[in-house]
Structure 1
Amino acid sequence: MCGRFTITHPNEALASMFDAVMGNDLPPSPRFNICPTTPVAVVTSDSGSRRLRAMRWGFLPAWYKTPTDGPLIINARSDTVAQKPAFREAVRSRRCIVPASGFYEWQTAEDGTKLPWYFTRTDGQPMALAGLWQRWGDIDTVAIVSTDAGPNMRGLHHREALMLEAADWPLWLGEAGHGAALLMKPSAEGLTQCHRVDRKVNSNRAEGPDLIEPLAA
């Protein structure tokens, strides 16, 4: 799953990486503790023209009367998106990419304590997380797609965010025909690395570069 992530790369660098036109409503960078319901940068494509623009993290199905009319939907399971009423149309026609410099996952200790780990790509590049988006009123909202845990995540959690490689972006964004379902698979061995971080990130009010520093032994 993905419940918190970071953006430490500048918006300009993300726009260049994805060959996207940068919107003027993007949230500032860096951000070290991005939480649900806040704005995030999202890559969309319309007839092959990509945009990097802001969306609310927290997918609002069309039938919600208010943003709190139902459960907060921040993730969409890859194995059920084609069947779930909330996502059926979005997975066909409103796929997007959520850039992330890294994300947090929590391990439950024997005493029930939640121990945070921070994951990044081993090559230092931003992650391209698969997303689905929905317009609700005048708000564009997004959920991050999750899949079975890859080898680097197993032992901490049974799910992880679906990470896309650059060669897969055109297919996921709908620029290269059909077959996006084939991309919904766990990450490869060695794609990510992780380290323990301080439990202060457990608070959604915490912020700052010290949140991603390795925990001292």
Structure 2
Amino acid sequence: MCGRTSLFAPAADLRDRFDAAVPEDYRPRYNIAPSEPVEVVTNEKLDRIDRARWGLLPEWADADDAGFINARSETAAEKPAFRDAWESRPCLVLSSGFYDWKPVERGPKQPYRFHREDNVAFAMAGLWERRETDTGPLDTVTVLTTEPNDVVEPIHHRMPVILPREEEATWLTAGPDERESLCRPYPGDDLDAYPISTAVNDPSNDSPSIVEPAESEQSGLGEFV
């Protein structure tokens, strides 16, 4: 699953990494919650980073609904909410790292940050939808999920579809059958995870301190391997 994300790379680095123009009002964010805008590259405009509201709204949903923040990649082609977007509206959801929570014996769940080591940002596979509203067009997006890899599995039973860099263009330009083959647990060995403070639980907390390792826990994956 992916229920919270971040994007805080400098604008110039994002431009170079994705070969795309960055919005002039871009600002780093460390704690992006559902219903907030996320930066995306859509198949409609490959050379520009745009924004879409996180929570895909199918045509039949009310414009003020929360929408679907995640879609199971195994069934997206069959579900009415995602069928049209799966056929023709893939996108990249840009991220510096996402968060998930691990149950513990006592107290609140322990949040973890997942990130790709030594990487400016990475792309999660997404689907987007455009709706006409009383205030104009509204673009919304969902993040596709798949089975967890060895890094995510100890913490959660689902993970976002993270695309290797060499597959990002294919995701945006290929047909549904080829894109389906890309929906798998992230195969790279550069994904890392470490526990962070429960301050991330409150979306109003949005500062660099969010990504600092929790003082009471050992960072890294030593406890899992």
Worse-superposed segment, 175-184 or 77-86: 175-184
Which residue identity does 2:149 align to in structure 1?
A: G
Change (3 A) 1:113 1:122: same
Contact 2:5-2:32 within 8 A present in 1 as well: yes
Which residue identity does 2:142 align to in structure 1?
A: A
Contact 1:45-1:175 within 8 A present in 2 as well: no
Change (3 A) 1:205 1:23: closer
Which residue identity does 2:200 align to in structure 1?
A: V
Which residue identity does 2:209 align to in structure 1?
A: D
Look up the match of 1:52.
49
Which residue identity does 1:88 align to in structure 2?
A: R
Q: Deviations over 1:64-90 (max 9, x none)?
A: 13322xx63100111110100111111
Look up the match of 1:191.
190
Shift of 1:177: 8.7
Contact 1:39-1:56 within 8 A present in 2 as well: yes
Change (3 A) 1:23 1:205: closer
Look up the match of 1:11.
11
Contact 2:87-2:175 within 8 A present in 1 as well: no
User: What's the % identity of the aligned pairs?
Assistant: 37
Shift of 1:178: 5.3
Change (3 A) 1:109 1:174: same
Look up the match of 2:199.
200
Map 1:6-45 to 2 at 5 A: 6-24=6-24, 28-45=26-43
Calculate the TM-score normalised by the size of structure 1: 0.91
Look up the match of 1:67.
64
Question: For structure 1, which runs of at least 5 residues remain unmatched after alignment?
Answer: none
Shift of 1:111: 2.4
Q: Secondary structure at the match of 2:173?
A: coil
Look up the match of 1:147.
146
* Partner Cα distance (1:18, 1:120) in 2: 17
Is residue 127 of structure 1 aligned with residue 122 of structure 2? yes
Query: Which stretches of structure 1, 4 residues or longer, exceed 6 Å deviation after superposition?
Result: none
* Partner Cα distance (2:157, 2:8) in 1: 26
Q: In structure 2, which of residues 93, 101, 104 is the aligned counterpart of residue 106 of structure 1?
A: 101
Calculate the TM-score normalised by the size of structure 2: 0.88
Q: Secondary structure at the match of 2:74?
A: coil
Contact 1:171-1:178 within 8 A present in 2 as well: no
* Partner Cα distance (1:102, 1:157) in 2: 15
